Structure 1
């Protein structure tokens, strides 16, 4: 054990509420702090989704006064031996998609000073930890290596960012023509400033998003009651803490697009949008709002406007970004037996996919 420090595993909301001040102090100085490891995000998620999960499993490294490390996990009802990162692993139609999943760590604590991850997993009686969105430079992966943990890393996509320190970057160039067209239409961009406006604009966001995705034949995620409730609640908290950037573009009385962004660490991240594609002439309202968010990030002194991850090999985000990085899913195991079992399942799945593809070609 680290001298003067101990490991706690918190399993209910009351325990989280008791450490709120220490948690928020840690989050304010943590070098890898994101909205997804904030007290607001984690506790709001658990309040909304509590009936669908077995319990919280929040790992805390602390002393009698301060918290030096925190990893917000939970345990699902269908498998009590696995810890999932908060905001991941729900049914696909309800998933809130917490990204950049990592250990929240104090600058006063080195990863090398942390206890072995396997000992914490044994303490909490879980066999594995699953994370669905991890950068390759994450503190958690360093912790796994130093702990000599058994783990699997699988590349799942790329994260894209438009950088604020590049004046005439890709996004600025891409939107130059449509910004002129929007000006001719007297298009106006506004940022939500108060709770009343928030309710109105959120309803438009949900409506536009639902309309567009229904037309494409996909399930509109704002139709899921848990997903919608979570965002109705977290938006109010983000607005109060000045971390919300909910902006909308209108022509006359018509709102053509809404962009839902969140200030997270040193970035402004793009979380969701809704766009009316029927307006003529086409002034690409969704792209216009991406540019507005970039300029807001620049004005706030942030490092980037972050498009987050895309899993496809080709993404429109690649054409308007200046930096990109590989994102992976990570499975951490408490012993080699579980690691080999998971690898075997992966090999079997790969063989099935190859066989299916070959059979499909044979019928062409």
Structure 2
């Protein structure tokens, strides 16, 4: 049976399909929290309608069955002085100061139907079903899955300029049966780092090292306040602002955290040494995986102490004890993630553009800017957004 594409252009339409949407995620190879109604609807309520955004969610069905979903927004952006009509993944495209940093987003397809769903999505995009556009930008897709490549291939069969670019990697741990097995899988120097970090912090806390997880709304409120306080203090030490200084970032998480807690998908934990909070982790739990999203740590501890390393080690042990299958550090190849991870997966971006004079001028301007930067000895680099927001561990 041929696949049918329709466009959902208002929030009520998205809300009405939540049941089918969640069922599709369960049948897909990309059941991620950032692709869930919980996350995306909360994002739209904060960012939707701002900066000229309008909703363009592509719903792909086979008969009455939802087999694909491509949540998009339309807005105008500027490239080197040229205006472009852009379609981009929902949720993405926030101003840098407000950025939620949603990863593993993009096309949702029923498992085994990725090629057919991608072909239907490409046909709808190229055929103008979602309205006029100059470029489609789908950032932060999981490059270990088939859907991004199927979509890039399908778009490439149209008269479009298509690129699929690796923008970073996401370190992770496939969790073994025991914490000792995890430690044994680490190279000896990194295994020593983990054990030494835990031992030093235990000594600092006179043997009292406890990672506690918020289980009730009251505990959530207290743990959230601790997270924000530790996070902001850490960045203020470097005379910079943390992410919670953004009103939109804060509004989004004010909505998402209680919803995640109610669903059993939030693991907001505080690490205490000698009864005093020294670190906090904001983790998500979804589809038997733990995702590290945000953190904070005390900025006035002795330099040799590594509370972040210790907190993650304890969170990994807790995930193993709970029978989880993976601990995902999300994007960013910062040192502490690489020290703790055992593998990584690519994060990719698809960009498709129509062959127009405007695109040719944009491309020329981009090439010229890169060449000028190279000649000046300052090559342009694309900021790795998760690194910019995740807590750095010395």
* TM-score, length of structure 2 as denominator length: 0.82
The aligned residue for residue 82 of structure 1 is 86
The aligned residue for residue 182 of structure 2 is 167
Number of equivalent positions: 355
The aligned residue for residue 140 of structure 1 is 148
Q: Does 1:301 align with 2:323?
A: yes
Q: Does 1:271 align with 2:279?
A: no
How many Å separate the matches in 2 of 1:324 and 1:302?
18
Paired residue for 1:98, among 84, 98, 102?
102
How many Å separate the matches in 2 of 1:227 and 1:61?
31
Q: Does 1:109 align with 2:113?
A: yes
2:172 alignment partner, SS class: strand
1:167 alignment partner, SS class: helix
Q: Which has the larger displacement, 19-28 or 249-258?
A: 249-258
Q: Does 1:180 align with 2:199?
A: yes
2:259 alignment partner, SS class: helix
Paired residues of 1:93 and 1:219 also in contact (CA < 8 A) = no
**What runs of 5+ residues in structure 2 fail to find an aligned partner?**
78-82, 380-394
The aligned residue for residue 384 of structure 2 is none
1:123 alignment partner, SS class: coil
How many Å separate the matches in 2 of 1:57 and 1:243?
28
Q: Does 1:194 align with 2:233?
A: no
Q: Which has the larger displacement, 180-189 or 93-102?
A: 180-189
Q: Which has the larger displacement, 73-82 or 270-279?
A: 73-82
Q: Which residues in structure 2 correspond to 1:1-364 (within 5 Å)?
A: 3-53=1-51, 54-63=53-62, 65-76=64-75, 78=77, 81-107=85-111, 109-112=113-116, 114-121=118-125, 122-125=128-131, 126-138=133-145, 139-147=147-155, 148-149=157-158, 150-165=161-176, 167-168=182-183, 169-170=185-186, 173-184=192-203, 185=205, 186-280=208-302, 283-310=305-332, 315-335=335-355, 340-357=360-377
Q: Which has the larger displacement, 233-242 or 27-36?
A: 27-36
1:182 alignment partner, SS class: helix
| Alpha-carbon displacement from aligned partner over 1:149-173 (angstroms, at most 9, x marks no partner) | 5312333322111221253233655
1:218 alignment partner, SS class: coil
Q: Measured at CA, do residues 9 and 193 of structure 1 come closer, stay the same or move farther in structure 2, by a change above 3 Å?
A: same
How far is 1:91 from its partner? 0.5
How many Å separate the matches in 2 of 1:108 and 1:132?
23
2:324 alignment partner, SS class: coil
How far is 1:63 from its partner? 3.9
How many Å separate the matches in 2 of 1:55 and 1:318?
38
Q: Which has the larger displacement, 190-199 or 25-34?
A: 25-34
How far is 1:335 from its partner? 4.2
Paired residues of 2:60 and 2:68 also in contact (CA < 8 A) = yes
What CA RMSD, in Å, does the superposition of the two structures yield over aligned residues? 2.5
| Alpha-carbon displacement from aligned partner over 1:338-364 (angstroms, at most 9, x marks no partner) | 6645543431221121122189xxxxx
How many Å separate the matches in 2 of 1:342 and 1:141?
25
Paired residues of 2:91 and 2:105 also in contact (CA < 8 A) = no
2:377 alignment partner, SS class: helix
1:90 alignment partner, SS class: coil
The aligned residue for residue 383 of structure 2 is none
Q: Which has the larger displacement, 101-110 or 271-280?
A: 101-110
